Amino acid sequence: MLKRGFRKWFSVMAIMLVLLAVATGGAMAELPQEVRAQNGMVAAAHPLAAEAGIEILKAGGNAVDAGVATAFAIGVVEPNASGLGGEGMIVIYLADGEKAAVIDYRSTSPATAAEAFAGKGTPGTGWPSVATPGLVAGLASALEQYGTMTLAEVLQPAIRLAEEGFPIGATLAQCIEDKYETILEDPGLAATFLDDGLPPLEGWVLVNPGLAWSLRKIAEEGPDAFYHGEIAEKIVAASEANGGYITLDDLANYRAVTRWPARGNYRGYDIFSAPPPVGGATLVEVLHIAENFDIGADAFPNAQSIHYLSESIKPAFRDYRKYVCDPDFVYVPVQEMTSKDYARERALQINPDRMTPADDIEAGEFPKKAALAPTGTEGAQYESPSTTHMSVIDKDRNMVAITQTISSFFGAGVMVEDTGVILNNEMANFTTAMTSGNSIAPNKRMRTQIAPTLVLRDGKPFLSIGTPGAGRIVPTLSQLLINMIDFDMGLQEAINAPRFYVREGRDTFQYEPRFPENVLEDLRKMGYPIDEDSARGEYDLYFGGAQGVMVDPETGELIGAADPRRDGAAVGY
């Protein structure tokens, strides 16, 4: 009791020091500054992960090599949000040959889980909520197809971090404290993340020998170690012992999929984003609708531009709900949704002076195979912000954008003992209605809104960007791109700017309170229901934690930026 009381007192004192620093304009109140470099840049949600990517670039690797190294390393230093038991998508642009591709390593439903939960709500936590992980297969596939180094080489920074340990930051320490009861209930999590049975303080050195063992096995044996070998056997044994559904067949049958990007063009900038079953096509649709309005007519921020963007987001999300799902199971009308002719039709329905009530917004109707039934109810974890993003550009201006996740913070709340593998709870992202394209089926990918994105300017590499944030991902990314393109902001300025969130199913408007009161009052006059409950924090993680790298079109330098809403860093050389 004395120890717990002392730790509580210490935490309170630390909070008071932070508040004092903010009040007095101390160093802790400073916002991130953009980073400039010539040869390579990595932006990630943890500085040690960004440094891992730079280590690979300095060793002669390309952006894909560095991206894969960063993606494995982030699972070590930000284990609450990503890791071997998770999933994601990587968007790649190779400057030589102007080639763009996407590797989809979204998790899939175990076959027996699909039978058990058909037409029912899927669990939000615990072993039954675990989907078949895709991260190892996806990163290995990206490296094999587009990288220049071996899997063993790019895994070395992650292995070193897991073996030697690292001092945890305030964000991870707080996350462990927030998830204390969940961690305490799982022997593997408790042994790894608790300090003598209690949440550790910032600065505590986290060593993860089990994860180091798994990473070494993958380095030595390749992805087969995870899907066919000893790691697979440990996952299945633990799942069977605890009421989970993953089998050896589920792991052996998993495949990462190479897909075409969702493509668009906003005011001359070419957009490449992650396609269904995730949110890149929706991002393109939002931008195509918004392009029909003079967003930048007045200085940022102003109510009219916020209104036009809000009204562009809502119909795009009606289409997302109705049509976006695993394209290997159901036809998804990507070309129709991202058509500029269709965007013009949607723009004509927008009243420039009034917010459209949620009940008046309908999904588009597309011919032939595209018509699907309403999507039913989203899973409980739909609003989880616990994803992570990495951006990389190398000396040859190859670009990579990676967004990956284990869904909720600490995923399903379970770790496979002796492996360091924290398993996801992605099953909650299937829809309950079996008439929906997002209904559960064996080996099917559930939809989410992640949207790692690359941008070309005048046909040349310009920007790698992405963010976590669940339902806020696409609205946040659309604001970031509009900030840069319409309001001529720099990358760091665009990331720092205040954000808002609207959605298609409710008449709500949430925002960071740095918007001027006159802008909010103008929005109220348009019908937006802004009240005392609408404001979030000044820089609120609810609105995502973007990481980005861009090419300065004037100097050719690389510019990296990190989001003040989340731990992160841009590192260049």
Catalytically annotated residues: 387
Query: Please, how many CA atoms are within 13 Å of residue 196, restricted to the half-sphere of its CB?
Result: 6
Residue 375: name the closest of 310, 322, 313, 426 by CA.
322
How many distinct helices (H) and strands (E) make up the chain? 20, 20
Residue type, 197: G
CA distance 128 to 117: 10
533 contact partners, CB below 8 Å, separation of at least 6: none
Q: Are strands 547-551 and 460-466 parallel, antiparallel or unpaired?
A: antiparallel
Structure tokens at 96: 């030589």
> Alpha-carbon distance 448 to 384, whole Å?
11
How are the residues of the chain apportioned to helix, strand and coil, as percentages rounded to the nearest 5? Answer: 40, 15, 40
Whose tokens are 């894909």? That residue is: 64
User: Cα–Cα distance between 373 and 225 in angstroms, integer?
Assistant: 41
Residue 501: strand, helix, or coil: strand
User: What gap in Å lies between CA 201 and CA 206, rounded to an integer?
Assistant: 11
Element (H, E) at 43: strand 41-44
Q: How far apart are CA 501 and CA 310, in angstroms?
A: 8
List, in sequence order, every residue forming a beta bridge with 550; answer none if it has no partner.
Answer: 463, 559
- Please spell the DSSP secondary structure of 460-492, one letter per residue: EEEEEEE---GGGHHHHHHHHHHHHHTS---HH
Residues in the chain, total: 573
Of 412, 422, 415, 426, residue with least CA distance to 126:
412
> E-assigned strands of 158-300?
166-167, 205-206, 257-259, 262-266, 269-273
Q: Residue 547, SS3?
A: strand
Residue with tokens 């348009």, as numbered in its chain: 526
